[in-house]
Structure 1
Amino acid sequence: MFAKFIPGLGAMAAPLAGSLNMRIGRFLRLDALGALAYCSVWLGIGYAFSGSLREITESLGRASHAALFLLLLLGFSYALALVVFTMRAQRYEGIDRITADNLYGRLQEQTPEKLMIIADVRSHGYYDPGMQRIKNSIRVEPHRLKEELIALREFMVPECEVYLYCSCLRDTTSVRVAHMLMQENCHTKVITGGMKAWIKAGGEVELVPETDLQHLPRFD
């Protein structure tokens, strides 16, 4: 009679009744009473808490509308970000690039036609004593490019080629710095793939000199 209130036991009621040799009539009466009690209990609960259930369903309806609005807002934000990134990429289309393999091959030439300068424009500074950089490269701080540009002027001559590298996805920092330098009539090229591509091409690297490290304050 109460088997319907216990999950899983209702399916076992008929086999158990048969194994105990319960008469069919008695089983049907008890099963009908159990079904009536089960339905009555849940109907009573629904009637007693009808007001609360109505509030819950209304809250769920409002939540579904809010979720739909949030989903549409996220979709619009994604589309807007995609448009902005596409416009930025088009602005940087004029930036010249060079592969790490090509640059490494040119550096192996015994007498290069022009002076070749490789500049590290990674967005983070030299803080880790174990940091590496491309051998003989110079550091250009992208966050204070105007000040760095004064020092770079001595390299910006027709007989000099300047190559930039970073460790960002899609060479973001290198491209941005190259674009800013191009506006100052300083022509540069971006090493595609940055530091990782250079190492993969077999290019030489070196530890950052102690004099170039930026020591963070210590609190002993």
Structure 2
Amino acid sequence: MGTWQELETPQGPVRTWHSAPAQEPVGGVVVIQEIFGVNGHIRDVAERFAAEGFEVAAPSLFDPVERGVELDYDADGIARGRELVGKLGFDNAISIVGAAADWLRGRGRTVGAVGFCWGGSVALLANTRLALPAVSYYGARSMPFLDEPLRAPMMFHFGARDHSIPPEDVETHRHKHPLAEVYVYDAGHGFNCDRRADYDASAAAQAWSRTIRFFKDALA
């Protein structure tokens, strides 16, 4: 079971959920939260990566704005999460992800990043700006950044019924990044999260299998 650690970042100390496998890790993964904070779902994702052999850091990105944020998947949580995203900004988020990656590297790991929802767009920037192999799950805020060149292997997961990411936007991802792996599932937004109404067990399992294969290849 993981534990909270205090991570020093350029934005100040940030609580970070740390999970590690019992055996020698095959690599390190920075897990990047949704707009709802490092809540139970994100901690579960971290534990699942640890079970697959990865050492994980999941930084609480909102800590420089408000510490310890964990929001529900409801209208109030969405509104509050969007407000916090606006106050934090992408640059500060990437800086914190970079600090988490450096911390894992200091422990002897090759490092990648995976992000969900808003974090999926942060994961794209972790690739283009930090050169981390990255997996983006339904990152609906990525369009303004697609002209930034990839600097490492990249994978995208989308839901065909995700109204925040229409098919033409998915095709733009393919066009701008032809070397990236792009997968579309018969699912809605947030299909990986079993706390959401759009959770889809089949799509989540298929995407997870591809993600684990990606990181084992990219971080070998």
Normalising by structure 1, report the TM-score. Answer: 0.26
Structure with greater proportional strand content? 2
Structure with greater proportional helix content? 1
Of structures 1 and 2, the one with the larger relative CO (CA 8 A, separation 6+) is 1
> Larger Cα Rg: Structure 1 or Structure 2?
1
